[in-house]
Amino acid sequence: MIWLTSMSTLWILAAAVLLVSVAGVAATVLLGRLPARVRDAIAGASVSGAAGLFAILTGFLIAQEYGTLREMQRTVANEAAAMSSLAYTSAVFPPADATLLQDRLARYGEAVTASEWPALAGENPDSEAFDRLADLQQDVARIGNRDYAPGQAADELSKSATAITVARGHRLAIAEQELPVPLFVLALLSGIAFIVEALLVAARHGRRYSTVAAGVIVLVGLDLGAVLAVSAPFRGAFTVSPRPIADVAADLRAGEYLSWVRATTDQAVDQGCDPTAADCVRIGPDDPIIIGSLLSARRPTGQDSAAAIELAVDYLDGTFDGIDGTLLGRSVVLLERDDGCSAATTTTAQQQLIAERQLLGVIGTTCSTAALDVADKAFSAAKIPLISPSNTAPSLTDPNRHEPYYFRVAWNDVVQGTVTANFATSRGWTTVTAVALEGESYSTQLATVFAETIRRRGGTATVITRPAGETDAALAARIAATGPQLVFLPVVSPSCEPIARAVRDRPTLRELPLLVGEACSEPTLLTALGADLGELYASGPDFSFYDDNEFYATAFLDAYRRNTGRDPITDFHAHAFDATQLLFDAIRRSAVPTADGGLLIDRAQVRTELLRVSGYPGISGVLGCTLEGDCAQNVRMAVYRAPDLPSVNRDAPAKVFGQARGLGPRTGG
């Protein structure tokens, strides 16, 4: 009866009226051949019985089928409510888990709407939704059993997933229920008998009763049509709507259930971008998701970041198992290029990345020099988001020169410069000298912030800029001439180590406190100084925050060690993981499906989604991206004393000073 119940209401009613009319007239013609007294006897004996039986049967069938329809509507509402509950509960888990669970849940909701409703309309319970629900259940069980999973939240997660499964099972069971054909046939026959009787009465008593007969025909047809109309909740006239489930799936895609995604005021439905536009990426049904990295392959900072990006891709399936996960049901291709920590190398590498038409975003650069007026400009011109895990130069996010598609998860050195200066003054070192390299944005800007903060606190600060070609010994002599109580070297390795060695070789500087920035806080520094460490300090992020993050301490760090065979050397592995997760999440919220199974992703929308991030609980800290591109808003910085630097003694670094600070006045440069 699929073809019949799939008709519209008007067609069903019209067909029912026509059917009973033809049947009634045919029966009347046949009865008309009988003697008059026989016809009268038949009519008199059965008219009330046929009418009563018809009323009882159709009333019962309509009530039963309408009740089934209402029950199905309640079941769909319960399923949507369970989905919403699971989504809200998932948000208390680490972001990498929450986004995975919500992606799985959204894909289930989309499959229910796109494939399960049509499948059930054809009385076929098999659909893609079954596989999507299996994926969701598997991830819920796996993530809920993790050591870091909050117990109550894990229980609620499991209950919600079970409720979804139960609701779907109930929905399928209802869909398999059939209209009681024997009862419907009996109702049809009694209806025809009722019509025949009405026609016989009209024939016997004249035309004045023909209107009554016509009314009976219409009444019988409408009642039978109503039974058919409400008997198929997935097709035909009166169907249950998948809208509650579809709405939850749409809200999941928009990030409405993620506490760290700002609500949007745009009420328009995103239909995707124009595939011919420069910033619109069309991804075919079988195409992968393509992202890039632009990192220094020879520097520990770049190596740590690259390892963390690989872990982020690995964790797309919810587990660090060495097998890459999928994003939006597709494999992820990572195009890796070397920035060389130089403008020249970066220029060549960025051209290669930009040439990839389907590139959705890039993690990089390692060094601020490679980004400032080089990568930040090039990728912004191409409308490709660039997220750095380790750029810290303040000018990169200075409102007067910031490029719109540039972001960073690393701290702004306005913070590091201020904290290191506060450390110096807390020790009574008010006459200080900082070293910067000519043309190197990181050292120049960090040294400037440090010196300006010292001066604001009443101290004396000298910034010495080393020109190209100056020897380490000559630089040390100039430092000694300033008579400092502390020497600050905010210089990137491997340039930092020989300068530190020259400072220790200078008799008047040998016993002075020496402070380096995070870019030199590496084992190579200790090797270069050997037994002449003296009073050596290094600044960097407060690693105690990482250890307080259970996902980092019990899952990420172990996976990092398994993959690399070592502890992280620098601070930026956590930032690179967060940067990649932010990009993945923004891509998820920007993707619009196409009719052929492909995707349209507007890179401008990816940027917009990054700007919606606020209060993201990353493993590197709480993140929220501003229009200027700073995503690390409140940073906990620390100062450590050698030899127990975090890069050497990861489990017990010797922290001697720490502060949490937000962004203050910006420094251009």
Q: What is the pLDDT of residue 231?
A: 66
Q: What is the pLDDT of residue 669?
A: 32
Identify the H or E element spanning 40: helix 36-90
> Using CA atoms, how far apart are residues 562 and 556, in angstroms rounded to an integer?
10
CA-closest candidate to residue 563, choices 315, 287, 242: 315
At 314 the three-state DSSP class reads: helix
> Using CA atoms, how far apart are residues 249 and 111, in angstroms rounded to an integer?
10
Neighbour tally for 397: CB within 10 Å: 25
Q: What is the pLDDT of residue 2?
A: 46
CA-closest candidate to residue 366, choices 447, 439, 301, 431: 301
> Using CA atoms, how far apart are residues 508 and 520, in angstroms rounded to an integer?
23
Q: What is the pLDDT of residue 668?
A: 34
* pLDDT tens by residue, 166-190: 999 998 887 777 666 776 676 666 7
Q: Which residue has the tokens 């932010």?
A: 582
CA-closest candidate to residue 587, choices 381, 361, 403: 361
SS (H, E, C) 443-507: HHHHHHHHHHHHHHCCCEEEEEEECCCCCHHHHHHHHHHCCCCEEEECCCCCCHHHHHHHHHHCC
CA-closest candidate to residue 642, choices 507, 526, 510: 526
Q: What is the pLDDT of residue 19?
A: 59
Please confirm whether the linkage preceding 68 is cis (ω < 30° from 0): no
At 289 the three-state DSSP class reads: strand
Distance of CA 309 to the CA centre of its chain: 16
Tokens of 26: 């045919």
> Using CA atoms, how far apart are residues 236 and 651, in angstroms rounded to an integer?
66
At 595 the three-state DSSP class reads: coil
Q: What is the mean pLDDT of each run of 10 residues along the chain (669 residues)?
A: 47 54 57 55 56 69 71 92 97 96 96 84 73 95 93 95 95 76 68 67 62 70 68 68 94 95 63 84 97 95 97 97 96 98 96 97 96 98 98 96 98 96 97 96 96 98 96 98 98 95 96 96 94 95 84 95 92 95 97 93 97 95 95 93 89 90 54
What is the DSSP secondary-structure string of 341-384?
TSHHHHHHHHHHHHT-TTEEEEEE-SSHHHIIIIIHHHHHHTT-
364: which strand partners? 294
Query: Residues with Cβ < 8 Å from 467, sequence gap 6 or more?
Result: 438
Q: What is the pLDDT of residue 279?
A: 87
Direct distance between the N- and C-terminal alpha carbons of the chain, in angstroms, rounded to an integer: 76
> Using CA atoms, how far apart are residues 231 and 67, in angstroms rounded to an integer?
10
> Using CA atoms, how far apart are residues 140 and 149, in angstroms rounded to an integer?
11
Do 20 and 220 form a contact (C-beta atoms < 8 A)? yes
* pLDDT tens by residue, 333-374: 999 999 999 999 999 999 999 999 999 999 999 999 999 999
Do 547 and 621 form a contact (C-beta atoms < 8 A)? no
Which amino acid, one-letter code, is at 367?
C
Q: What is the pLDDT of residue 648?
A: 86
Do 84 and 248 form a contact (C-beta atoms < 8 A)? yes
Tokens of 238: 């009166």
Do 348 and 373 form a contact (C-beta atoms < 8 A)? no
Do 216 and 196 form a contact (C-beta atoms < 8 A)? no
Do 347 and 421 form a contact (C-beta atoms < 8 A)? no
**φ, ψ for residue 393, nearest 5 deg:** -60, 125
Distance of CA 232 to the CA centre of its chain: 37
**Prediction pTM value:** 0.84
Neighbour tally for 595: CB within 10 Å: 5
332: which strand partners? 289
At 557 the three-state DSSP class reads: helix
* pLDDT tens by residue, 575-634: 999 999 999 999 999 999 998 999 999 999 999 999 999 999 999 999 999 999 999 988
Identify the H or E element spanning 431: strand 431-437
Query: Residues with Cβ < 8 Å from 528, sequence gap 6 or more?
Result: 497, 498, 500, 501
> Using CA atoms, how far apart are residues 130 and 168, in angstroms rounded to an integer?
9
Query: Residues with Cβ < 8 Å from 375, sequence gap 6 or more?
Result: 294, 339, 346, 350, 364, 365, 386, 406
**φ, ψ for residue 462, nearest 5 deg:** -120, 135
CA-closest candidate to residue 197, choices 58, 53, 54, 48: 48
Do 170 and 75 form a contact (C-beta atoms < 8 A)? yes
Tokens of 14: 């019209």
